[in-house]
Amino acid sequence: MRVEAGDKIPDLVLPSIDGTDFEMSAMKGKRVIFTFFRFSTCPFCNIRIDNILKRWGEFHEDTVMVGVFDAKIDELTRRMGKRGIPFTVVADETYQTYLDNGVEKSFARFMLGAMKSPLTMLKATLKGYIPMTLSLSKMSTLPVDMLIDEDGTVVEAHYCKDTVDHLPIDRLIAFSKGS
């Protein structure tokens, strides 16, 4: 079931690549940008992270951002741990958090994203972001961006139309600054 603006975000605990557990309940009093990405070698997800990293200095200094991946924590740590990502990256090893938050799968919409973004795919390939999975289940996952306010209420839940659709980075920055 999809999460809607006005819903309270349920508590969750997920392992992070820094060796700690991320606990949503510990985020009370903080604004949280919460993104369900696809899998650790997803070219589009990795380019999205690169684009956020390029603009990270524009985010409020207290920004809490969490990227969730459909991956085992060891594999995710191996792939993401050396990238110097300044926000929390966590693994949902069972896919349960995806299910609990209404994350959708669509092979057709995955293909649409791939077809409408050949330059992004080329850029990702040149940077070495090669999808290392042949799992149609993992490939067909559609990202979700959620903006969660200080009391744990969802301000905005953007269920992406395809694999390259996300909230604009300008929107994430504005939210981090209180808008």
Using pLDDT thresholds of 50, 70 and 90, give the confidence band for residue 136: low
Q: What is the pLDDT of residues 28-48, one digit of tens each?
A: 999 999 999 999 988 999 999
Instruction: Please report the DSSP string for 49-90 in residue order.
Output: HHHHHHTGGGS-TT-EEEEEESS-HHHHHHHHTTS--SSEEE
**How crowded is the C-beta side of 36, counted as CA atoms within 13 Å?**
29
| Overall CATH class of domain 13-176 | alpha beta
Question: Amino acid identity, residue 11?
Answer: D
Task: Evaluate whether 147 touches 156 at the Cβ level (below 8 Å).
Answer: yes
Domain ranges of the chain: 13-176
Q: What is the pLDDT of residues 1-24, one digit of tens each?
A: 899 999 999 899 999 999 999 999
State pTM to two decimals.
0.90
> What CA–CA distance (Å, rounded) separates 125 from 99?
30
